[in-house]
Amino acid sequence: MGRGRAKAKQTKVARQLKYSTHQTDLERLQRELSGDDTPHSDPVDNWADEDEWRHA
């Protein structure tokens, strides 16, 4: 008992996902998958500051 409301909600969500139209940005997806969408920055050594205070 009590499963009716949960099942109805699952059915509603499944129906919304199935019939809704989503706009997919295929160019952005292609850039993301190829690795071109990542920001190009120099890697930062986050431990450098911590090492300095240990040796001081």
Is residue 52 over pLDDT 90? no
**What does the pLDDT read at residue 47?**
63
pLDDT tens digits for 10-49? Answer: 999 999 988 887 788 889 989 999 987 555 555 566 666 6
31 Cβ neighbours under 8 A, 6+ residues apart = 37
**What does the pLDDT read at residue 5?**
92
Positions of E strands within 4-56 = none
Instruction: Tell me, yes or no, if the pTM score tops 0.85.
Output: no
**What does the pLDDT read at residue 8?**
94
**What does the pLDDT read at residue 48?**
61
SS3 content of the chain, % helix, strand, coil (to 5): 60, 0, 40
Which value, to the nearest 10 degrees, does the dihedral of the CA atoms of residues 23, 27, 33, 35 take?
Answer: -140
Q: Residue 52 is encoded by which pair of tokens?
A: 């300095």
Give the integer Cα–Cα distance in Å for 13 and 21. Answer: 14
